[in-house]
Structure 1
Amino acid sequence: MIYRIEIGLKDGVPDARGRGVIHRAAGALKMAIDECRTRDVYKVVANIDAATAAVVQKTFADPVVAESAMDRLPAPATFDWMLEIGFKPGVTDNVGRTARGALKDIVGRELDWEEQVYTCMQYFISGNLTRKDIEHLGKDLLANTLIQTIAVFSKDEWLAAAPDVSAPIFDDHPEIKVNVIELPDDDAALMKISSDGILSLSLEEMRAIRNHYLRADVKAHRAELDLPEWPTDIELECIAQTWSEHCSHKIFAGVVEYKDEETGESETINSLYKTYVKASTKKIEESIDWLVSVFTDNAGIVKFNEDIHLVYKVETHNSPSALDPFGGSMTGIVGVNRDPLGTGMGAALVSNVWGYCLGSPFYDKEIPEGLMHPRRIRDGVHEGVIAGGNESGIPYSRGFECFDERYLGKPLVYCGTMGTIPVEVGGRPSERKEIEVGDWTVMCGGRIGKDGIHGATFSSEELRTESPAQAVQIGDPLTQRKLYEFLLEARDLGLFRCITDNGAGGISCSFGEMGKYSGGCECDLAGAPLKYEGLQPWEVLVSEAQERMTLAVQPEKREAFEALAKQRDVEVAFMGKYNDSGYFTVKQDGKVIASLDMDFLYETGCPTLVMPGRWKKPSVPAPAVAPRADYSETLVKL
């Protein structure tokens, strides 16, 4: 059964969301809206009777300020247009997922896969506006067409239409299969494979992969496992995310052939990171004693007092924020929360920081195709950062904003988190990570979906009109909060041996990287919890979710770990074991579909990037001397 529940504010209750739309439309679109009233719509797809549905209706609506109805509320007193915005099928709907949790509590049982709650929002708008104006409002201010749907109704159309009681239609589930990607001896064809697959691999890297699969020892290993001669799609995707700029920082690690054109002097710099960033810190370390762990984990650790260390990390979420400002920055703030949480044995989170480099919010020239107005990006980014922090219970302490026209094409969105970690956990230094052969490979937290696929590779290339919607992972702060509290409790009980976050490469990143501690890892994707059916194996492996972590759990601790997870309402999946084979091996229902040499994957395989560097003294004209002015009146106004 599908039950449609519509909820709106009672007459006389101020509509803050509607007033926000009026204000933002005037500022960003120069659009005058007389009145805007909003409503929430829940479509409950569940095996429940009408009496239970009535309880759900009452639960979802706040009786003090709101009224609700099955199917449809009475029409607002005045409106000219109704704009409805919902999520496309398969896109994470956080409100719907939270509502589904409430539905589960009401019915008092586990829900079947098909039992879901879908949400959308309606805007009833009054003003001297055309249909084109309302579509402009939806596409360019209120919705992101990459992940949301827009429907526009005139007043007469809405009054005549029956309420929509259908659920979102998913594509037919494709056949689950593993494709073999032949790598031809043709440079153009190799680059087409990289470009079409959003792999962000250079020609040299594609050649290196091809040459690797032509080696006799590699062929022998693959024949032993009944794997094809050429890489499977899951292997190629795993290599691409591991070698992406986002994950491996190839530019910082590359060789710079540097020349000072003023003096004519030249030098070769082997890794800017090792030569300057890491070396300067190591030099400072010789004269101080408070650096505990730097350049080795998800975040840095420094001493604070005898009981705790401070843990700190800042990273960027630039490309996702350009595609979906709210979702991109929310995934940025909750994503960087994971880094201290996945550092050492896990840190408690204290506060968030942020910084934005954006185009001017007052930009009045033509916006290049595929880009959003910087004011919309700014407002969406800040809302996402604040919402992500508030909903996951981590306050923000400070931030900055910088505006320049050169950031129009790709904004910079910095998100950071500070945390604390005990000096010792379980009788050993808290920063030390270790895994023993035979430990379980465990994924816990949010489920895997299509959002977050190609996050690492997409973030490593220039924005283009073909940039994929699914690269933006939509964070789920409430799920992350439950996961966070569960992990700190499990840490203090000694229920896991090692922890890291599911980075931009999903479990391909976390499982493989943690496997380096033991020397190998094996997992079976059949145990992965999915948001919906039909994901291909390579999608399951590389899809990112901010509210997911990977752990190594001792075999003797499994029962206690699972019991605590159930008690704390956190989903966990025991997907394989760590070993010392030297390979990252992936199975689907017991059949090997990928086996990657970890030395090739993480150490020796990726070609070193060689870049020219030139210094030429810039010519900067002296600024014109502006006449002094009296700012008294301006200051008084301020």
Structure 2
Amino acid sequence: MDLDLTPEETEKLSRELCHPVTPDAVIGSSPSGDTDYAIEVIYGPGVMDPEGRSAKSLAEIVFGRKFPFDKKIAVLHQRRIKGSFTDVQLRKIAGQFYNDIVQNVKVFPRKELQQGIGPYMSPVEVPPPGPILHYDLNARFDFEDLVNELARNAENKDKAREEAKKKSDSWLKAAKEYYECDVSETNPSLNLLRISDGRMLALNLEEMASIKGHYSRPDIIEARKKVGLSGKATDVELELFGQTWSEHCKHKIFNADVSYIEGGIEERIKEGIFNRFIKSATLAIQKQKPDFIKSVLWDNSGVVDIDPKASNYVCFKCETHNSPSFLEPYGGAITGIVGVYRDPLGTGRGSLLIFGVWGYCTGSIFYDGDLRPPLHPDQLIEGIHHGVRDGGNKHGVPNAIGGTFFDDGFMGKCLVYVGAAGLVPKVVDGRPGYEKWVDQGDRVIVVGGRVGKDGIHGAIASSEGYHKNTPKGHVQIGDPYTQKNVQEFMWEALAEGLINFSQDSGAGGTGSAAGKTVRDEEVYIPNPINRFEKAESK
């Protein structure tokens, strides 16, 4: 830690952090003991460290003063090993305890242990915000410009040209299939796909062409001029399209026109899997039992009246968190469970969480075949359940029930289901608790942890299968401690009748929440809230 405490204050804080029965507290370098190696794991620079953040909050309570934002406490985990191992063997052992996507690792031999290992923290350097980027959606495709762009990160220009040829050929093929005719190699459609690929938007040509059409509308051009915007799309606007139309948020597969053959019989589900098997069945039940289903298919979770004599309704939501969990199981799963907790919190004007549920689909933990996913199913399932368990326990919410299904068909991508239930007051300030509205002049209050650059493209990554270019930055570490405080704050505010509309930020952040909240109105957010104070907008 670097809180600039006096020796006496450091001693006092160590006693507060240390349980009086089981562990010991050591200030400074730790003794080597009867071990030959030590492996230390710590979160990388800028990655959320919920335990360290909570320890800093404890220090502020103990000493009755606030510490600057850039002063922090970091938590690292150390494992001592006895025996004789090669460097390669030690690295393999260390690989069982950390994930290089979000963590750093150090291995200390006996000689360094005897000298004493001092605590350390990864420095965080936040670059100043870059300029807003603008994209001409009508520009023609320039192959040489793509080569020059790729050459910045390639071994040489020949490698860049080879990679550019692969990309342009695939985009040309997609354009020919979309238009069902020959397309020139400089067609603007290839440039649209280049933009989608370069920004990792995971949008196909039909979607990018639709965005282009939006910016070409005379009324949109005129409206943009009035607020000082050009006809070119900004990077933030394109990111919003990518997030909103992602598989995680839009569920394009569930809503698609599906045709398939099974047992020699072809069947078509024109209205989509979701509409036929979920929406229609739910609405049929609501029609039969209107007093049972109170709110469904429009808010962040569904609301039902299980006990007419009770003072609360029950709301429930379930979702998946597959892509990040496949790369970093602990971070992906804990973000998934605390994320789905926010859906009941964002239902109506708020709710009180009562339990969570889970379900996993992975390859066999005994798999010994030729496939080499980022993590073996044995390590994957351990990390996933650790994340779900921590997300519930540290939030004060019990995980009530769950199960695991093993099949090697999930070696390419696991499925991680998480769900949550909450209590919605039947009446708040004279109106049903599941109702929500926005009045003109209402203030928007954003509560929770700071946002940063980790977790970017989390929703977008759900639209793709795992590949070598899957962005590692879309993995985020959830903070159940902070969210527990949010739960307590919202429940008290709800009881006071201070909330008209509650909305979870979700994968799209403030932009997504604002869009869901205002619908046909306008919202003005003058200063986005960032995790790093130095990166705040001015």
Q: Secondary structure at the match of 1:501?
A: coil
**Matched residue type, 2:416:** V
Counterpart in the other structure of 1:55: 12
Identical pairs, percent: 35
Counterpart in the other structure of 1:475: 478
* Match for residue 107 of structure 2 among 130, 152, 161: 152
Query: How far 1:62 moved relative to its partner?
Result: 3.0
Query: How far 1:259 moved relative to its partner?
Result: 7.7
Query: How far 1:173 moved relative to its partner?
Result: 1.4
Which has more strand, going by share of residues?
A: 1
Query: How far 1:527 moved relative to its partner?
Result: 4.8
Q: Take 1:254 and 1:520, find their aligned partners in 2: how far apart are those partners? A: 31
Q: Take 1:527 and 1:128, find their aligned partners in 2: how far apart are those partners? A: 52
Query: How far 1:420 moved relative to its partner?
Result: 1.8
Query: How far 1:136 moved relative to its partner?
Result: 0.8
What is the 5 A alignment of 1:223-262?
223-256=225-258, 262=264
**Matched residue type, 1:213:** Y
What is the 5 A alignment of 1:58-207?
58-76=15-33, 78-139=34-95, 141-160=96-115, 163-164=117-118, 167-171=121-125, 173-183=127-137, 184-185=139-140, 186-207=188-209
* Match for residue 429 of structure 1 among 423, 429, 432: 432
Instruction: Confirm whether residue 287 of structure 1 aligns to residue 288 of structure 2.
Output: yes
Counterpart in the other structure of 1:453: 456
Count of matched residue pairs:
487
Query: How far 1:49 moved relative to its partner?
Result: 2.9
Unaligned runs of 5+ in 2: 141-187
**Matched residue type, 2:432:** P
Counterpart in the other structure of 1:630: none
**Matched residue type, 1:364:** D
Q: Take 2:405 and 2:259, find their aligned partners in 1: how far apart are those partners? A: 32
- Does the 8 Å contact 1:302/1:311 carry over to 2? yes
Instruction: Confirm whether residue 398 of structure 1 aligns to residue 401 of structure 2.
Output: yes
Counterpart in the other structure of 2:468: 465
Q: Secondary structure at the match of 2:334?
A: helix
Q: Secondary structure at the match of 1:67?
A: coil
* Match for residue 330 of structure 2 among 326, 330, 346: 326
Query: How far 1:263 moved relative to its partner?
Result: 6.4
- Does the 8 Å contact 2:29/2:119 carry over to 1? no
Counterpart in the other structure of 2:221: 219
Counterpart in the other structure of 1:581: none
Q: Which runs of 4+ in 1 moved over 6 A?
A: 258-261
Counterpart in the other structure of 2:167: none
- Does the 8 Å contact 1:176/1:534 carry over to 2? no
Counterpart in the other structure of 1:208: 210
Query: How far 1:468 moved relative to its partner?
Result: 2.3
Counterpart in the other structure of 1:341: 345
- Does the 8 Å contact 1:200/1:457 carry over to 2? yes
Counterpart in the other structure of 1:315: 319
Counterpart in the other structure of 1:358: 362
User: Alpha-carbon deviations, 1:561-601, whole Å to 9, x = none?
Assistant: xxxxxxxxxxxxxxxxxxxxxxxxxxx64xxxxxxxxxxxx
User: Alpha-carbon deviations, 1:110-136, whole Å to 9, x = none?
Assistant: 211221112212211012432212211
Query: How far 1:529 moved relative to its partner?
Result: 4.5
Structure 2 CA distance for partners of 1:262 and 1:346, relative to 1, 3 Å: same
Query: How far 1:254 moved relative to its partner?
Result: 2.8
Instruction: Confirm whether residue 375 of structure 1 aligns to residue 378 of structure 2.
Output: yes
Structure 2 CA distance for partners of 1:64 and 1:288, relative to 1, 3 Å: closer
Counterpart in the other structure of 1:521: 523
Query: How far 1:268 moved relative to its partner?
Result: 6.9
Q: TM-score, normalised on structure 2?
A: 0.85
Which moved further from structure 2: 316-325 or 268-277?
268-277
Query: How far 1:365 moved relative to its partner?
Result: 2.1
Query: How far 1:89 moved relative to its partner?
Result: 0.4
What RMSD in Å do the two structures reach over aligned CA positions? 2.2
- Does the 8 Å contact 2:126/2:534 carry over to 1? no
Instruction: Confirm whether residue 500 of structure 1 aligns to residue 496 of structure 2.
Output: no
- Does the 8 Å contact 2:315/2:344 carry over to 1? yes
Q: Secondary structure at the match of 2:288?
A: coil
* Match for residue 305 of structure 1 among 291, 307, 326: 307
Structure 2 CA distance for partners of 1:255 and 1:45, relative to 1, 3 Å: same
**Matched residue type, 1:142:** F
Q: Take 2:287 and 2:535, find their aligned partners in 1: how far apart are those partners? A: 54
* Match for residue 492 of structure 2 among 478, 485, 489: 489
**Matched residue type, 1:281:** T
Query: How far 1:230 moved relative to its partner?
Result: 0.6
Q: Secondary structure at the match of 1:419?
A: strand
Query: How far 1:482 moved relative to its partner?
Result: 1.2
Q: Secondary structure at the match of 1:117?
A: coil
User: Alpha-carbon deviations, 1:375-430, whole Å to 9, x = none?
Assistant: 00111111111111111111122111110101111111111112221222211111
**Matched residue type, 1:126:** K
**Matched residue type, 1:406:** G
- Does the 8 Å contact 2:31/2:113 carry over to 1? no
User: Alpha-carbon deviations, 1:426-460, whole Å to 9, x = none?
Assistant: 11111111111211122101111222211111122
Structure 2 CA distance for partners of 1:62 and 1:283, relative to 1, 3 Å: closer
Structure 2 CA distance for partners of 1:267 and 1:386, relative to 1, 3 Å: closer
- Does the 8 Å contact 2:32/2:110 carry over to 1? no
Structure 2 CA distance for partners of 1:72 and 1:467, relative to 1, 3 Å: same
Q: TM-score, normalised on structure 1?
A: 0.73
Counterpart in the other structure of 2:156: none
Q: Secondary structure at the match of 2:468?
A: coil
Which moved further from structure 2: 241-250 or 210-219?
210-219
Which moved further from structure 2: 497-506 or 446-455?
446-455
Unaligned runs of 5+ in 1: 1-43, 536-587, 590-638
